[in-house]
Structure 1
């Protein structure tokens, strides 16, 4: 086993060139490979998605693209790709691809959440908890962590305000691999540096995320045959509650319309739709009071995605109750319950409480990255006590979906986004 562990500590010999040029018609982009001198060794990425995959990180250093009158993000706007040794306050070891792509996807989400202090915790390039709060970045991070303590283990934390002592204490309470912030308040680095394997990144450009809105980047998907698909990156059109579209439909001469969300519901829908930009499809997000209460991701069918989110939420809620009452995880209690009658009784009580509390989902809003093809997914999430929905609209059954929310008691609000948010 000791030999197997070496693969995760060994730097791959990076065979890629120092420079890369991409030419699209008459427009040219020039990139420079990013390397770092860490502990006397100058190397780039430790490895790619897996230890046996050499990889390299490139920063766009000159050139730019413009199509259909739209200017793409260009040189001088680097964030993750512009990281230098100075920004790596504590590196531990040369970073791997997944460390940096997690941070990058957090920034992809946070660009739409600049109005308030916000925090995102990611694992495997998907958020496991996200929150924003007028009370500050510490409250936002604590809420994001409590939304899913289980998945947050070993995750990457990114915040959009200077990291406070309150936030540092949250980070010090569990195991994380990466933390990134635009700056660090006095005393916080001393707390964070106690964890020697924690990568601490300062990314000043987080302060300017709002300036990137409306500018796409060149989104490249390489195919297994060596070809590639290029596209404009996703650009969120819902930047304020006023950008939502009233949910209406026509069918056989009849008109259908849904209740308009309240101000709080609209604010939560706006927040959840921003987080949706960084979630793998098919996906749905439950949110309440500026915090994700459940995230269902990567399912092939939409109703299955709702079911997954609810099941996960019930587990996370039970885990939270267990930790609060017994200072152990739900899985530790389950293990103990195999041989201990009192632990088994405690487990049954916890699981019953999670069901009765509807996994903490009651009062949440829900967003869906694609339209609901049938009302089954809508009925299922309404059974958990949600109060409002935002979804793209455009289904031939939109009238049935509107009927479903209107039949709910109390009536559930719904709006359309007018765009899909698939991420593959």
Structure 2
């Protein structure tokens, strides 16, 4: 077992070149490999790149765009000098811990991808394997973190936390109670590094440019997918088009000459949660369904092959996570460690509360092909649904909302939010 543990602590190194150039037509994009002078166990400075890739036997390198401005058609892509994760300096690694590998940095990157839509309020996103386990807004940073963490305390274990406000003392104390792999923030107030430093392996990253994230909202980058034959698929990155109530479409359709329309319109709170939830969806692997309430995720289902299945998984996770949170809050221990009588008490409370799903908003990253997907949420008492629309059987989902008691509001986005 000790040998296996050493495997994850090892530094693999890499043979990738210091510079990489990609030529698209007459434009050359120049990338420079990132490395950092980090002290080793003997206290000597050692130049290091990424710890390793997705697994300890995969070499990997981090590159920053340093030259070349790409314009394709009417799209101007992000240019040099605007780096976030790829521009990390060694001075921004306020605590190195086990210095970061690929997964740590891609988790932070996706956290920035989500949190860029929430810059007006304190916000926190916790990620695990490039999917959010919890995302939340708050009146303060400590509240936003607590809500995001409470969404899925199990998955948050060993996760990467990204916040959009400087970490204060109260937030640092709350974060230090949990095992996190990474904490990323625009800054850290005096004394907070000592608090967070109780976790010696924690990577503490500072990205000053988080404050500029709003400017990334409509900016595109080149998205590369490598194929097993050495080929590449290149696409523009996605842009979130659903940013206000004006961007939402009526849930309406015509089927076999008959018009269908959702009878109930969402209220202001439901619209806010629709906008919030669709922004979180922007960073969730497809197929995905999530439930949100009052600017916080309640349950997240990600990366499944069918939409009904992923909706059911999101519900199951909401119930599991609610039970876990209550067990820790009421008895100070994990649900699995409770006595049978204690479990029965927690189960009864979760059932009565419907795990927080009642009154929540259900978000689907694409259309429901049949009404059964929407019915998963309706059975749990959701008050509103946001989905792409565009199925030949949209009328079924509309009917399901109209037949619900109380009636459920529904809006269409007119676009999907797939992420693979």
The question of a shared fold, defined as TM-score above 0.5 by the shorter chain, is answered with yes
Equivalent runs, 1:114-193 vs 2, <5 Å: 114-133=119-138, 135-193=139-197
Q: 2:99 aligns with which of 88, 94, 108?
A: 94
**CA shift digits 1:154-175 (9 cap, x unpaired):** 1110001111222112101111
In the other structure, the counterpart of 1:397 is 393
In the other structure, the counterpart of 1:15 is 15
**CA shift digits 1:232-267 (9 cap, x unpaired):** 111100122221111111122222222221111000
Q: Aligned pair 1:218/2:222, yes or no?
A: yes
In the other structure, the counterpart of 2:30 is 30
Q: 1:238 aligns with which of 226, 234, 242?
A: 242
- Counterpart CA distance in 2 for 1:9 and 1:319 is 30
- Counterpart CA distance in 2 for 1:188 and 1:242 is 41
8 Å contact 1:36–1:94 — kept in the other structure?
no
Q: Deviation at 1:351?
A: 2.1
Q: Aligned pair 1:323/2:319, yes or no?
A: no
Q: Aligned pair 1:373/2:377, yes or no?
A: no
For the residue of structure 2 that corresponds to 1:102, the secondary structure is helix
- Counterpart CA distance in 1 for 2:303 and 2:98 is 31
Q: Aligned pair 1:256/2:253, yes or no?
A: no
8 Å contact 2:99–2:203 — kept in the other structure?
no
- Where does structure 1 differ by over 4 angstroms across 4 or more consecutive aligned residues? none
- Counterpart CA distance in 2 for 1:163 and 1:418 is 38
8 Å contact 1:279–1:423 — kept in the other structure?
yes
- Counterpart CA distance in 2 for 1:146 and 1:375 is 30
CA-atom RMSD, angstroms?
1.1
In the other structure, the counterpart of 1:199 is 203
Q: Aligned pair 1:63/2:68, yes or no?
A: yes
- Counterpart CA distance in 2 for 1:35 and 1:361 is 45
Bigger mean CA offset, 151-160 vs 317-326: 317-326
Q: Deviation at 1:189?
A: 1.8
- Counterpart CA distance in 2 for 1:412 and 1:290 is 19
Consecutive unaligned residues in structure 1, runs of 5 or more: 334-342
Q: Aligned pair 1:273/2:278, yes or no?
A: yes
Q: Aligned pair 1:105/2:110, yes or no?
A: yes
**CA shift digits 1:349-369 (9 cap, x unpaired):** 322332232122111101100
**CA shift digits 1:304-353 (9 cap, x unpaired):** 011111111111111112112211001222xxxxxxxxx12222332233
**CA shift digits 1:12-31 (9 cap, x unpaired):** 12100000000111121100
Consecutive unaligned residues in structure 2, runs of 5 or more: 40-44
- Counterpart CA distance in 2 for 1:58 and 1:374 is 44
**CA shift digits 1:83-142 (9 cap, x unpaired):** 011111111232110110000000010112222111000011110010012x12211111
Q: Aligned pair 1:301/2:293, yes or no?
A: no
8 Å contact 1:38–1:93 — kept in the other structure?
no
- Counterpart CA distance in 1 for 2:170 and 2:246 is 34
- Counterpart CA distance in 2 for 1:328 and 1:13 is 40
- Counterpart CA distance in 2 for 1:176 and 1:219 is 28
- Counterpart CA distance in 1 for 2:34 and 2:391 is 45
Q: Give the alignment's TM-score, normalised by structure 1.
A: 0.96
8 Å contact 2:78–2:219 — kept in the other structure?
yes
For the residue of structure 2 that corresponds to 1:421, the secondary structure is coil
- Counterpart CA distance in 1 for 2:24 and 2:73 is 14
In the other structure, the counterpart of 2:411 is 415
For the residue of structure 2 that corresponds to 1:77, the secondary structure is coil
Q: Deviation at 1:3?
A: 1.9
- Counterpart CA distance in 2 for 1:286 and 1:89 is 35
For the residue of structure 2 that corresponds to 1:157, the secondary structure is strand
Bigger mean CA offset, 169-178 vs 183-192: 183-192
In the other structure, the counterpart of 1:52 is 57
